[in-house]
Structure 1
């Protein structure tokens, strides 16, 4: 009986279990001289804490957001890397619904943070009215700022991750299956093209690993920037 469970759904759960298990065991024995597992865990935490937390949010506010940024980064990264892991070979976030769920969570968090600090009216003013601008031009700028900062942000945040993961996955399929077809069914003259397609498939596979990391980094970086913008006293 079909229960409506899909491969991306299973990968979401699997990634959460793997991430929790890894960092649980990495932090279990906190030695002064860390072992390999503890060292990798500490470096991963410090990377998010410093480059995505402190450097963006500032030393005053960053620590309370580090758990969210940390979990978000490794959750996205592992689900992206699933595209390059044999037998899985599917990027979870090439399904738009999965990405827009993350974008909605981000939207709720940074808006809630801004409203809590500035109040509802103060936050809307901060996000919609550019500082130091007055006069009739505000009639144009206020709707544009509101759309850009409140409405469009989660859409573009999700679209960037979704489009990159989907495009990379389709490109790998194109070169892998195209190369196989040319080698097995193509004429003798086009078989070298099939070999070239497979070589490109291997090269693009390594490039995709870099892109998978960068997309996780960019998604979390933008989250940190949106939180920082919501906390700032001026826009």
Structure 2
């Protein structure tokens, strides 16, 4: 029905809103056409983000000085933010240094890929596609579950799934819920939170852009032209709001990673 409505709108010369299918651009190298996958714009931007992060921090530390340059200061500030705010404050003094490189990499990898959505022409946050978000959350899930089993062995399941001080009859209900919550729901929500916010922002950009273009190109109505200009002007504060959400989601994802690692490292104390 939706496709029929869009076709009817096209035939009548009306506005055709963008669809979710349009967020998936054609693959550059469709090596597995039968699986509907290949090397596309999203994968290209992920590769570019890795190259950019490597270049930026390599250039920043190449000429280290007691009085830092702007580039060195920016890099050191970013490292200090991750080290102190998300590693030391969450994981604790005892274990945090081991996990600083991981948290540092996750934060800037997600941040750069999110910010791609705010750059004209690129205009596509990599994590607006659920596959990338699932992959990141899956890696984090394997890490913190692996840490828990490495430290506590099979007893880790009991530490996570069996609440202390709960009457035994209630454990029949609570234990399956705790296992479901900690080992299945947690990684799903970890990924979907990131993907949903990035996808929503990307769809809003598409909708505003296509709507404004439609209104501005209506030659028979100056009122519609003016409305299109107002739509573009009104989108400016929304653009900065989306920019803030891109930064916030990188922070939240990394912070939750630190929380999950801390929970695995200190499961016996919880």
State TM-score, norm by structure 2.
0.84
For residues 148-195 of structure 1, what are the alpha-carbon distances to aligned partners after superposition, in whole Å with 9 as ceiling and x for unaligned?
111111100000000000000101111121012112127333333222
For residues 47-102 of structure 1, what are the alpha-carbon distances to aligned partners after superposition, in whole Å with 9 as ceiling and x for unaligned?
00000100000000000000000000000000000001122111111111111000
- 1:154 aligned residue: 187
Pick one of 71, 77, 98 that aligns with 2:111.
Answer: 77
Conserved 8 A contact 1:175-1:200: no
Equivalent positions of 1:59-78 (< 5 A) are 59-78=93-112
Conserved 8 A contact 1:126-1:234: no
Instruction: State how far apart, in whole Å, the 1-side matches of 2:216 and 2:53 are.
Output: 40
Instruction: State how far apart, in whole Å, the 2-side matches of 1:24 and 1:122 are.
Output: 43
Instruction: State how far apart, in whole Å, the 2-side matches of 1:91 and 1:127 are.
Output: 34
Greater CA deviation, 1-10 or 154-163? 1-10
- 2:269 aligned residue: 234
Cα drift, residue 196 of structure 1:
2.2
Greater CA deviation, 2-11 or 142-151? 2-11
Pick one of 236, 239, 244 that aligns with 1:210.
Answer: 244
Runs of 4+ that moved beyond 4 A: none
- 2:169 aligned residue: 136
Greater CA deviation, 126-135 or 49-58? 126-135
Instruction: State how far apart, in whole Å, the 2-side matches of 1:63 and 1:165 are.
Output: 30
Conserved 8 A contact 1:127-1:150: no
Does residue 167 (structure 1) correspond to residue 182 (structure 2)? The answer is no
Instruction: State how far apart, in whole Å, the 2-side matches of 1:105 and 1:177 are.
Output: 36
Equivalent positions of 1:97-116 (< 5 A) are 97-116=131-150
1 or 2 for the larger relative contact order (CA 8 Å, sep ≥6)? 1
Instruction: State how far apart, in whole Å, the 1-side matches of 2:243 and 2:193 are.
Output: 16
- 2:14 aligned residue: none
- 2:233 aligned residue: 199
Instruction: State how far apart, in whole Å, the 2-side matches of 1:22 and 1:85 are.
Output: 18
Cα drift, residue 2 of structure 1:
4.6
Greater CA deviation, 12-21 or 130-139? 130-139
Q: Secondary structure at the match of 2:169?
A: coil
Q: Secondary structure at the match of 1:136?
A: helix
- 2:13 aligned residue: none
Instruction: State how far apart, in whole Å, the 1-side matches of 2:72 and 2:79 are.
Output: 10
The alignment of Structure 1 onto Structure 2 pairs a total of residues equal to 234
